[in-house]
Amino acid sequence: MLVPRALPALAALLLSVPAAAAPDAAAVFGIELAEPGTIGPRPLRPEDARRLALASEALRREVAGRGLEPVDLGPQAAAIRRDAPLYKCEGCAETIAKAAGAALVVYGYVQRSAPQVLNLTITITDADSGKVLRGGQVVIQGDTDDTWLHGVRSLVKNRLFAEPLPNRS
């Protein structure tokens, strides 16, 4: 028989162990801005911050619309801030995703080539192995909300989910 005082400790132990990841659970991270040539973090321009949030939300909706279930990354916010930018942290996104109970990792970045030309890159990896399952890049011509959203939708439709993900059909 369990001593009543041991129940809270047992519950805390069970809650601290990450649950087994559902095969269609995906950690969809926010799209980041890559600025080559800059040293150290720079504050985002308000319109860039707004468009990154808009594109990130569109990516979450598109991923959910393809049968994957985005996990809540709120509890991992401190780790995400610490390890950012995720597109070049060498496996930290996968570690964060596994802690959130995700089997898949979706992350991306936008890189400005010229004032009206941007490159959007999105990658899907396996959280356990880090293996890239799918990835793609699209050029966005024009720096508007509509062009950013079109870039996300086009990349998801034509590159990321053009066929079923390996071992996930």
Instruction: Report if residue 1 sits inside a domain.
Output: no
Mean pLDDT, range 108-124, rounded to an integer: 92
Indicate whether 16 pLDDT > 90.
no
Instruction: Give the per-residue pLDDT at 42.
Output: 72
Contact indicator for 94, 125 with CB cutoff of 8 Å: yes
Task: Tally the domains of the chain.
Answer: 1
Instruction: Report if residue 61 sits inside a domain.
Output: yes
Instruction: Report if residue 8 sits inside a domain.
Output: no
Instruction: Give the per-residue pLDDT at 2.
Output: 44
Instruction: Give the per-residue pLDDT at 37.
Output: 63
Instruction: Give the per-residue pLDDT at 114.
Output: 84
Instruction: Report if residue 7 sits inside a domain.
Output: no
Instruction: Report if residue 37 sits inside a domain.
Output: yes
Instruction: Report if residue 120 sits inside a domain.
Output: yes
Spell out the SS3 assignment of 12-79.
HHHHHCCCCCCCCEEEECCCEEECCCCCCCCCCCHHHHHHHHHHHHHHHHHHHHCCCEECCCHHHHHH
pTM here? 0.82
Instruction: Report if residue 11 sits inside a domain.
Output: no
Of 21-35, 94-108, 145-159, the range with the lowest mean pLDDT is 21-35
Bridge-based pairing of strands 117-126 and 132-141 is antiparallel
The residue range of the domain holding 133 is 20-160
Which residue would you say has higher pLDDT here, 13 or 121? 121
Domain harbouring 35, CATH code: 3.40.50.10070
Q: pLDDT of 36-93, one tens digit each?
A: 766 656 778 899 999 999 999 999 999 999 999 999 999 999 999 999 989 888 899 9
Instruction: Report if residue 125 sits inside a domain.
Output: yes
